[in-house]
Amino acid sequence: MDFRHITPCGECCAGCQKKAQGLCRGCLESGGHCEEWAQSGTCPTFACARKHGVLFCGICPEFPCDHLPMRKWRPDCVAELTALAQEYQMERTAMDINRIKENAIQWARSYEDTAAYSGWCLSFIEDAVEKSNGIELFGGDSATASALLYSDGIRQGTPEAGAFVFYDCHGSVNGDPVNWGHCGLCIGDGQVIHAWNQVRIDPYLAIEQLSPAPSWTAPVYIGWVPLERVLAQKP
């Protein structure tokens, strides 16, 4: 839905017969001076919504309130505005997620061919999301730990853009066995940007063919987790 055409009371002037016939300029176009409220000067609902800084009543923090004159001719207006608010929030969330993904991918790409994150694959993709968006993630201490933490959201097949992509690999550090795994950030079309000996981009399955560090096993693809699931993780 295009919420640019939604009025404060939750109506949509697009397609209105009065507006089409030139009998009314429209609520938004006239600043709330609709023909129906000509005597009062400005629609009280329009004025109230603008006073509270909201697009329409349903997303006002005081909704539902006693200042809904349309109750007289729209007895179901509270339910209608509630449903409209839910749709609005869903669209806003989708827009926010896409922006977060775009910011993270752009940030990650800026490190391509650098060794700044050599050996720190999880830090790289978490920083890509956090530093480019000013938010905090609550993943595990390693790629393996994060994959386990997000295990309820792991999917198979080609990862989507913005997804965290996980691999199983293990080896030893100072003679001690560790299973830290490996991970990367999908930038779209199954391509994954990840911190290996340097930050590089590879097809998600081609990462399994990379030569591992001494005493380490080659990465084995586990699956991918949507960014929405990563963001939903609580501390």
Per-residue pLDDT of the chain (235 residues; tens, 9 = 90+): 677 778 888 888 777 787 788 877 778 888 887 766 666 567 888 888 888 888 888 888 888 887 777 777 777 888 888 888 888 776 767 768 899 999 999 999 999 999 999 989 999 999 999 999 888 888 999 999 999 999 999 999 999 999 999 999 999 888 889 999 999 999 999 999 999 999 999 999 999 999 998 889 999 999 999 999 998 888 6
Of 40, 36, 23, the residue nearest 9 (C-alpha): 36
Of 206, 182, 202, 207, the residue nearest 192 (C-alpha): 202
| Structural fold of domain 98-232 | endopeptidase fold (from Nostoc punctiforme) (3.90.1720)
Of 53, 68, 56, 59, the residue nearest 13 (C-alpha): 56
190 with 204: CB under 8 angstroms?
A: yes
Number of Cβ within 10 Å of residue 193's Cβ equals 22
- Where do the CATH 3.90.1720.10 domains begin and end in the chain? 98-232
**Residue 192 and residue 231: Cα distance in Å, rounded?**
19
Which residue spans within the chain are E strands per DSSP? Answer: 164-168, 171-173, 176-178, 182-188, 191-195, 199-203, 220-225
- Residues 6 or more apart from 135 whose CB is under 8 A from it? 100, 129, 231
| Token pair 């386990």: residue | 148
Alpha helix locations (H) across the chain? 17-20, 44-51, 77-109, 121-133, 143-149, 227-232
| Token pair 């000067």: residue | 41
**Residue 57 and residue 146: Cα distance in Å, rounded?**
41
Output Rg (C-alpha) for the chain, integer angstroms.
Answer: 26
Name the pTM for this structure.
0.65
Give the Cα-Cα-Cα angle 199, 204, 207 (nearest 5 degrees).
60
Please name the amino acid found at residue 51: K
135 with 176: CB under 8 angstroms?
A: no
